[in-house]
Amino acid sequence: MFELPLFPLHTVLFPGMPLPLHVFEERYREMVQYCLEDKRPFGVVLIRSGVAEGGPLADPYEVGCVAEIVEVQRLEDGRMLLMTVGTERFRILSLNHDRSYLMGTMEEFPFAKEAADQLAQEAAVLQPLVEEYLEILARTGNVEFDPEQMPTDPEDLIFLSAAALQVEMDQKQAFLENDRASVVLHELTRAYRRELLYMRLMPEEDQGIFSLN
């Protein structure tokens, strides 16, 4: 078990994925300062209910992702621009409301052990679908994509694919919360096939609605 500050947001962070943040609310500026002074990361969690800014602390989902701070830009008025990257999934065991921001006691949340050859086969089916999806977005100028950087490791492919897919946040959260890599690979493959079916039928000028922004 370990303890980290929690940053509830209307987004889902996956391991290996970057997340830029504009930190302007006082309680989260305090949180970031605490992390910098203590040389520790924080946890990013999707908001289940409540708001990200102002008002009472939001109620988060149980599973989130550790965010490592890799770059900080301090602005004159106290705001901060952060670049963070996801590192590992966690499951919250308990919440502490003693500070102005949430603290959580959590445990690591890795995938369950499964046959490596089965995962490799399922990843090999998903990978070309993700490549085609990102190539379409790259042609419309919505994303930069280098196919040589496409991961082959099944877990890395899961996280990139889940981050890139344009679906509702509760669906992304479902990907994050599943502890069976084979199930997530199967669900992502179905989702990408469905999205690509629409994208192939659309005029190229309309494909920009699938922007990663």
| Domain stop point among 108, 127, 155 | 108
Mean pLDDT value across residues 207-213: 44
Residues 131 and 153 in one domain: yes
Does 114 score more than 70 pLDDT?
yes
Q: Domain range for residue 11?
A: 2-108
Residues 96 and 133 in one domain: no
Does 53 score more than 80 pLDDT?
no
Q: How many domains does one find in the chain? A: 2
Residues 147 and 84 in one domain: no
Mean pLDDT value across residues 144-171: 92
What token pair was written down for 157?
Answer: 């492919």
Does 209 score more than 80 pLDDT?
no
Residues 39 and 20 in one domain: yes
- Worst-scoring range by mean pLDDT, 32-46, 56-70, 102-116, 173-187? 56-70
Residues 53 and 142 in one domain: no
- The residue among 127, 137, 190 whose CA lies nearest residue 161 is 127
Does 197 score more than 50 pLDDT?
yes
The secondary structure of residue 61, as a DSSP letter, is P
| Domain stop point among 78, 108, 138 | 108
Residue 51 to residue 203: CA distance in whole angstroms? 37
Residues 121 and 205 in one domain: yes
Task: Give the strand pairing for 80-96 and 18-23.
Answer: antiparallel
Residues 98 and 9 in one domain: yes
User: pLDDT value at position 191?
Assistant: 97
Residue 111, SS3 per DSSP: coil
Residues 97 and 29 in one domain: yes
Residues 146 and 196 in one domain: yes
Residues 204 and 151 in one domain: yes
Residues 188 and 96 in one domain: no
Q: How sure is the predictor about 148, in pLDDT bands with cuts at 50, 70 and 90?
A: confident
Q: For tokens 């179905």, what's the residue?
A: 190
| Domain stop point among 108, 136, 167 | 108
CATH number for the domain including 35? 2.30.130.40
Residues 30 and 57 in one domain: yes
Q: Are 174 and 191 in contact (CB under 8 A)?
A: no
Digit-coded pLDDT (tens) for 13-28:
999 999 999 999 999 9
Q: What is the pTM of this model?
A: 0.90
Q: How sure is the predictor about 203, in pLDDT bands with cuts at 50, 70 and 90?
A: low
Does 58 score more than 60 pLDDT?
yes
Does 142 score more than 80 pLDDT?
no
Mean pLDDT value across residues 119-136: 95
